[in-house]
């Protein structure tokens, strides 16, 4: 790619399991130039094929990126954002879960805002093509007045003593797991599809004794227009899919004039009220990358926002609402009560 005035210099922090989807997506993105990869393990950074670093400060000083993509676990986020701001980066993308707490995420957000740095959280599920299709269908009234949205998480990877060890072993040690690591995607997706909730309720449990956190449970969102959203998660069970990681489960959006169905192959179907059969709105296909190429879709969205000034979704300030809702869900489960105080301030 040519490096000109409309090209972003991009460096990445982290070269663990999920980072492969980031590096692949960046390599397929126009108007960017990859200038470095940093990881504590030299071999992992070198394996990206980019100029390799083991120290973030050195990479920021030598590679001089316009944008830093942070692809590391939450404990590293605040320090990495602080270093990037101090080294004058123009924009930062930070993986979810964003920081370790609402207070820490708020501090990171304030640091970026004070320096005029664009900070976007890499919450990519809203960029999956099936949810974009469902949002368009809801916005155009294809199913009438929406009454219910349900997602059933069935990853099928949580059974036995070796659960998660082959892919993301740190999952076993997370004290908060199902919601903090996985369900958070649907906190944001429900907001994207239905707007902000006015109350939440959660009932969580741990089924696999080898992990520290919860791996099954429910949460419910109440919206002020009467709509309810239900997340039904169980990482020990699977769903009908050749690859359970394509959609991670199945969804229904139900309204007065019809129902939208998301299947495990990524297809979306519309069945009109009273009909037995439906029609396909989004065909299943062999998507590149992860989850319908949502990593690439988010990256394209951010590049356009920075270079063209198009509106950005998932800015850190807005994403604080997701963290506040996550905290409310854990508090609801602890108390056994519906929570109505959801302020992110």
Q: 158 in a domain, yes or no?
A: yes
- Residue 269 DSSP symbol: E
**Residue 106 φ/ψ, nearest 5 degrees:** -65, -40
Specify which residues 92 forms β-bridges with.
68, 119
Omega of the bond leading into 122 within 30 degrees of 0 (cis)? no
Q: 311 in a domain, yes or no?
A: no
pLDDT tens, position by position, for the chain (345 residues)?
334 448 999 999 999 999 999 999 999 999 999 999 999 999 999 999 999 999 999 999 999 999 999 999 999 999 999 999 999 999 999 999 999 999 999 999 999 999 999 999 999 999 999 999 999 999 999 999 999 999 999 999 999 999 999 988 999 999 999 999 999 999 999 999 999 999 999 999 999 999 999 999 999 999 999 999 999 999 999 999 999 999 999 999 999 999 999 999 999 999 999 999 999 999 999 999 999 999 999 999 999 999 999 999 999 999 999 999 999 999 999 999 999 978 654
User: At 12, which CATH number?
Assistant: 3.40.50.720
Q: How many residues does the chain have?
A: 345
Q: Which residues contact 221 (CB under 8 A, 6 or more apart)?
A: 190, 194, 197, 199, 200, 228, 229, 230
Same domain? 62 vs 205: no
pLDDT of residue 3: 41
d(Cα 38, Cα 124) in Å, to the nearest integer?
22
Q: How far is CA 310 from the centre of its chain?
A: 20
pLDDT of residue 341: 79
Same domain? 40 vs 148: no
- String of DSSP letters for 288-307: SSSTTTHHHHHHHHHHHHHH
Same domain? 135 vs 270: yes
Same domain? 19 vs 143: no
Whether residue 291 contacts residue 128, with contact meaning beta carbons closer than 8 Å, is answered with: yes
Which residue range forms the structural domain that includes residue 187? 126-290+323-335
pLDDT of residue 2: 39
Number of structural domains found in the chain: 2
Same domain? 167 vs 283: yes
d(Cα 39, Cα 11) in Å, to the nearest integer?
11
Q: Which residues contact 304 (CB under 8 A, 6 or more apart)?
A: 310
Q: 202 in a domain, yes or no?
A: yes
Last residue of a domain, one of 92, 122, 152: 122
Q: 313 in a domain, yes or no?
A: no
Last residue of a domain, one of 77, 93, 122: 122
Q: Which residues contact 207 (CB under 8 A, 6 or more apart)?
A: 158, 215, 216, 234, 236
Whether residue 102 contacts residue 344, with contact meaning beta carbons closer than 8 Å, is answered with: yes
Whether residue 11 contacts residue 41, with contact meaning beta carbons closer than 8 Å, is answered with: no
Whether residue 258 contacts residue 143, with contact meaning beta carbons closer than 8 Å, is answered with: yes
pLDDT of residue 4: 43
Q: 137 in a domain, yes or no?
A: yes
Q: 302 in a domain, yes or no?
A: no
Same domain? 94 vs 171: no
User: At 230, which CATH number?
Assistant: 3.30.360.10
Q: Which residue has the tokens 């990358």?
A: 289
Last residue of a domain, one of 106, 122, 138: 122
Same domain? 265 vs 132: yes
Give the gyration radius of the chain's Cα atoms: 20
Same domain? 61 vs 132: no
Specify which residues 205 forms β-bridges with.
216
Q: Which two tokens stand for residue 37?
A: 């990869």
CA dist list (Å): 18 to 33, 259, 289: 21, 33, 11
Same domain? 141 vs 118: no
Whether residue 187 contacts residue 325, with contact meaning beta carbons closer than 8 Å, is answered with: yes
d(Cα 109, Cα 293) in Å, to the nearest integer?
27
Q: 297 in a domain, yes or no?
A: no
pLDDT of residue 343: 67
Same domain? 20 vs 65: yes
d(Cα 312, Cα 201) in Å, to the nearest integer?
29
Q: 340 in a domain, yes or no?
A: no
Same domain? 163 vs 83: no
CA angle 108, 303, 35 (to 5 degrees): 80
Same domain? 184 vs 331: yes
């Amino acid at each position: 790619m040519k490096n000109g005035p409309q090209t972003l210099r991009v460096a990445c922090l982290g070269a663990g399991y999920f980072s492969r989807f980031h590096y692949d997506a960046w390599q397929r993105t126009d108007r960017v130039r990859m200038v470095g990869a940093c990881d504590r393990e030299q071999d992992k950074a070198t394996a990206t094929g980019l100029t390799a670093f083991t120290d973030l400060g050195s990479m920021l000083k030598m590679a001089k990126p316009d944008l830093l993509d942070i692809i590391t676990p939450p404990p590293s986020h605040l320090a990495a954002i602080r270093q990037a701001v101090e080294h004058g980066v123009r924009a930062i993308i930070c993986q979810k879960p964003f920081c370790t707490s609402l207070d820490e995420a708020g501090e990171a957000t304030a640091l970026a805002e004070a320096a005029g740095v664009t900070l976007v959280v890499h919450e990519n599920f809203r960029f999956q093509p099936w949810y974009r299709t469902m949002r368009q269908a809801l916005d155009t009234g294809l199913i009438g007045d929406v009454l219910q949205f349900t997602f059933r998480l069935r990853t099928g990877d949580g059974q036995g003593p070796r659960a998660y060890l082959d892919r993301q072993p740190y999952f076993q040690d997370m004290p908060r797991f199902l919601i903090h690591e996985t369900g958070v995607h649907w906190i944001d997706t429900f907001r994207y599809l239905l707007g902000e909730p006015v109350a939440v309720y959660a009932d969580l449990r741990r089924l696999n004794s080898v992990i520290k956190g919860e791996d099954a449970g429910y949460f419910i969102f109440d919206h002020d227009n009467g709509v309810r959203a239900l997340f039904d998660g169980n990482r020990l069970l699977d769903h009908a899919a050749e690859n359970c990681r394509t959609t991670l489960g199945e969804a229904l959006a139900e309204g007065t004039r019809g129902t939208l169905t998301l299947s495990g192959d990524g297809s979306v179907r519309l069945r009109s009220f009273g009909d037995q059969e439906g029609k396909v709105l989004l065909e299943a296909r062999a998507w590149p990358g992860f989850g319908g190429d949502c990593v690439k879709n988010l990256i394209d969205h951010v590049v356009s926002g920075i270079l063209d000034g198009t509106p950005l979704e998932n800015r850190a300030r807005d994403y604080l609402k997701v963290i506040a809702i996550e905290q409310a869900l854990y508090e609801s489960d602890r108390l056994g009560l519906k929570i109505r105080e959801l302020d992110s301030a």
